[in-house]
């Protein structure tokens, strides 16, 4: 499993590295995600939101354990869908897409930086990064990124 504090610290730091992000939050569920979004005003966005990763284990024997963390992050902007025009929708998607692309580039670069938060991205599977558009998800539009990180079990 990924150490939650390292994961939090890495993505919290992303806000200082990536231009355009206005904040970060780590959540454990969709309900907590929605509650956080409702408390924020539109001026607090775009936000980077990370879900605490789940993990799958592969254990051939007690001394040979590998875990894969299933990670999911979002770059989201709060919108009022009733007020949204086609142009404002495209503006939001383009703004959040540029931020997500910058995050992905940073993550790829950080894979080789072993001093970054206890080797957090040392075993990220770069071939399994998957990006999806998000429309009116909990009142937000933007992008999600799912990715896998293998870790020794502990």
For position 21, what pLDDT does the model report?
96
Quote the domain boundaries for residue 30. 4-152
Question: Per the structure, how many domains does the chain have?
Answer: 1
The yes-or-no verdict on residue 133 having pLDDT over 70 is: yes
Q: State residue 57's pLDDT score.
A: 84
pLDDT for the residue numbered 123: 86
Q: 10: pLDDT confidence band, cut at 50, 70 and 90?
A: very high
- Give the mean pLDDT of 16-45: 94
Contacts of 27 (CB under 8 A, 6+ apart): 33, 36, 49, 50, 51, 52
Residue 17 CA, chain-centre distance (Å), reads 14
- Mean pLDDT of the 7-21 span: 94
* Distances, alpha carbon 104 to alpha carbons 13, 83, 117, in Å: 14, 30, 17
Q: What is the pLDDT of residues 105-124, one digit of tens each?
A: 999 988 877 666 657 888 89
Considering only residues 22 and 1, tell me which one the structure prediction assigns the higher pLDDT: 22
Q: Which CATH number covers residue 139?
A: 3.30.70.1700
Please name the helix (run of DSSP H) or strand (run of DSSP E) that holds residue 105, with its range, or none. Answer: helix 86-110
């Amino acid at each position: 499993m990924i150490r939650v504090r390292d994961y939090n610290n890495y993505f919290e730091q992303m806000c200082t590295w990536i231009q355009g992000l206005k904040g970060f939050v780590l959540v454990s569920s969709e309900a907590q995600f929605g509650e956080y979004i409702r408390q924020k005003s539109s001026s607090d966005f775009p936000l980077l939101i990370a879900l605490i990763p789940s993990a799958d284990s592969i254990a051939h024997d007690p001394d040979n354990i590998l875990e894969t963390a299933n990670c999911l992050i979002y770059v989201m902007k709060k919108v009022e869908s009733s007020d949204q025009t086609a142009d404002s929708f495209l503006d939001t998607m383009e703004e959040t897409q540029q931020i997500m692309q910058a995050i992905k580039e940073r993550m790829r670069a950080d894979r080789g930086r072993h001093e970054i938060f206890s080797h957090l991205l040392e075993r990220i599977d770069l071939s399994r990064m998957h990006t999806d558009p998000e429309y009116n998800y909990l009142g937000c539009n933007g992008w999600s990124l799912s990715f896998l990180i293998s870790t020794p079990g502990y």
